[in-house]
A and B are shown apart, each in its own frame.
Chain A
Amino acid sequence: MKIVREALAGTLESSDLMVKIAPAGDGLEVVIHSEVIKQFGDQIRQVVHSTLRDMQVHQGLIIIEDKGALDCVIRARLQSAILRAAPDAEIDWGKLL
């Protein structure tokens, strides 16, 4: 999935997260801010990176502002933002889930 435009998904409500995505010419930059980074930092990073890997995102700036979201929410928000940032394509929902 190629990031071709800026996109947002999510909110800054408690238990949610906001994902911001922008194209970047020089590789993948992932910034994670979380209120629970001390307790769950590794887990959050793992979810984020596996989602990016599954969707084959190799370039772009990904900013995540987490307010204590569950893994499934993190994944869903990230997927939405990536789909909004990518050129319109047929989505294979079976693969995404």
Chain B
Amino acid sequence: MQPRPPIDFRIAEVSGNTRRRETIRALLADSGLGMDSDITTFVEAWSNDRLVGCAGLAANVIKCVAIDEQWRGENLSAQLLAEVEHLALARGHFHLFLCTRPCNRERFQRNGFWPVVQSGENAILLENTPSGIQRYCRSLQASRVAGQRIGAIVMNANPFTLGHRYLVEQAAARCDWLHLFVVSEDASFFPYSARWKMVQSGVAHLPNITLHEGSQYIISRATFPAYFLKETGKVQQAWSEIDLLLFRNHIAPALGITHRFIGSEPFCDITRQYNHSMHQLLAGAVEVVEIPRIKAAGHAISASEVRRLLKTHQFSRIREIVPDTTFAHLTSHYSAEVA
């Protein structure tokens, strides 16, 4: 048997580098994979002048791992993963997630990744620690409150509107205690710190609420890439299931959550599909309560409408659909642009 030529690992920044992207895209296509647009860096494996393997890194999420057919069975993916882990740590990410298809589960499990949750034959989420989700659930348990009806809401609040406040008030009134999670992924128009403050001051009048910082396990780039990428199709469906299974199997039991509250979604297809999956997947474990959106001047209130109005500086119309607390934030941060 002829010895293989040595493998040369290279780090490729692909944002803006179209030619590099196309080479990788071709390798991914051979493995039936598409390229996710949020991947900034690929670790590439080269043999002479041929790209034979790649692994993508989007912040702390590894995806789009592919090996040339002729190079399979040579432990190349293990080498690639080790390279990615070193690279990620150098960039400050130690806790890594890996998104793949369940048929690859064992290959990654042999290389330092542990399954977190799996959605049928479509998608599986793994992490590079054996106790990540358990640790997170232990930290949640500290906020457990006893009661018959324990509610949960997950919101992005981009920004916090009267609609969000109504949803929270309705939920809090129907529960002994309400756990409110603010999505912490910084991929929205308003940064997380601003969204957090708007929610905090917007629900301060309610006595039976715990506000939780979101986490990697709740609608994050790891659990739910489509929410931020706004892609369509099967991928999105699979990852909304991953997110919901995490909630059902880990988060809800940790806090003793019995009800999850959502607002009806007339605008965004992804959120509507997510709500639909929620009814199916949480059935029997957590009761899903869908509360119709409130309207202002005949239209359902939405955060995207606020963002649209903000761009055109229509503050008088914004005032009609956000609480005073949010309005104060918006005027102090964005009205300078008007003057």
Q: How many residues of A contact B (CB 8 A)?
A: 19
Do the beta carbons of A12 and B111 come within 8 Å of each other?
Answer: yes
Q: A residues within 8 A CB of B81?
A: 12
**Contact partner, B82, options A12, A29, A35, A61, Cβ 8 Å:** A12
The interface centre, meaning the residue of B81, B94, B111 with most chain A CB atoms within 10 A of its CB, is B94
A21 to chain B, nearest CB (A): 9
Do the beta carbons of A63 and B89 come within 8 Å of each other?
Answer: no
**Contact partner, A18, options B75, B112, B129, B130, Cβ 8 Å:** B112
Instruction: Give the interface residue-count category, chain B.
Output: 10 to 19
Do the beta carbons of B85 and A61 come within 8 Å of each other?
Answer: no
Q: B residues within 8 A CB of A35?
A: 110
Do the beta carbons of A13 and B78 come within 8 Å of each other?
Answer: yes
Do the beta carbons of B79 and A12 come within 8 Å of each other?
Answer: yes
B241-259: CB near A (< 8 Å → 1, else 0) gives: 0000000000000000000
- Which residues between 38 and 93 of chain B lie within 8 Å of chain A, taking CB atoms? 75, 78-79, 81-82, 85-86, 89
Residues on B lying within 8 angstroms of A by beta carbon are 75, 78-79, 81-82, 85-86, 89, 94, 110-112, 128-131
Do the beta carbons of A29 and B112 come within 8 Å of each other?
Answer: no
A64-75: CB near B (< 8 Å → 1, else 0) gives: 010100000000
- Asked whether A7 is an interface residue with its Cβ less than 8 Å from the other chain, the reply is yes
Residues on A lying within 8 angstroms of B by beta carbon are 6-8, 10-14, 18, 20, 22, 29, 31, 33, 35, 61, 63, 65, 67
Other than the given A14-B75, A61-B129, A63-B129, 20 more pairs (CB < 8 A) read A7-B89, A8-B85, A8-B86, A8-B89, A11-B79, A12-B75, A12-B81, A12-B112, A18-B82, A18-B85, A20-B85, A22-B94, A29-B131, A31-B130, A33-B110, A35-B110, A61-B131, A63-B112, A63-B128, A65-B112
Q: A residues within 8 A CB of B130?
A: 31, 63
Q: A residues within 8 A CB of B89?
A: 6-8
Q: B residues within 8 A CB of A63?
A: 112, 128-130
